[in-house]
Amino acid sequence: QVQLVESGGGLVQPGGSLSLSCAASGSIVSINVMAWYRQAPGKERDLVAISKSGITTNYADSVKGRFSISRDKNTVYLQMNSLKPEDTGVYYCNLRITTIFGGTRDYWGQGTQVTVSS
């Protein structure tokens, strides 16, 4: 019914920037909540940024002022600036979507690797 495809990860030097995207397709009526999570090696998956109905947006303290979540139609973005080695991890988008069939649930992207290293 709904598919999410992530892109934009890669290797970047400290201080650099990357932009991740998460394209949603399928029987979508609305995207109610959009979020990005990060899972560092050997650690749990943590929330990085979340935006609810485009009204409230929150960021993890570690990324405030450096990361920005946004959306254009059914594609959600995470702009990451001033990257640090501790930003390394697999980034997952998570969207709460209402479909034409009337259901609302969370969908996950496949994950994209971000490595910050010199």
| pLDDT tens figures, 22-39 | 999 999 999 999 999 999
Q: Which pLDDT band, with edges at 50, 70 and 90, does 1 fall under?
A: confident
What is the structure's pLDDT at 54?
74
What is the structure's pLDDT at 55?
85
Residues of the chain with pLDDT > 90, as a percent, come to 93
Closest CA to 108 of 18, 58, 10, 33: 33
| pLDDT tens figures, 53-83 | 878 999 999 999 999 999 999 999 999 999 9
C-alpha distances (whole Å) from 70 to each of 1, 24, 52 are 23, 14, 11
For residue 99, give the 3-state DSSP assignment: strand
C-alpha distances (whole Å) from 39 to each of 6, 13, 91, 104 are 15, 19, 6, 25
* Residue 27 to residue 108: CA distance in whole angstroms: 15
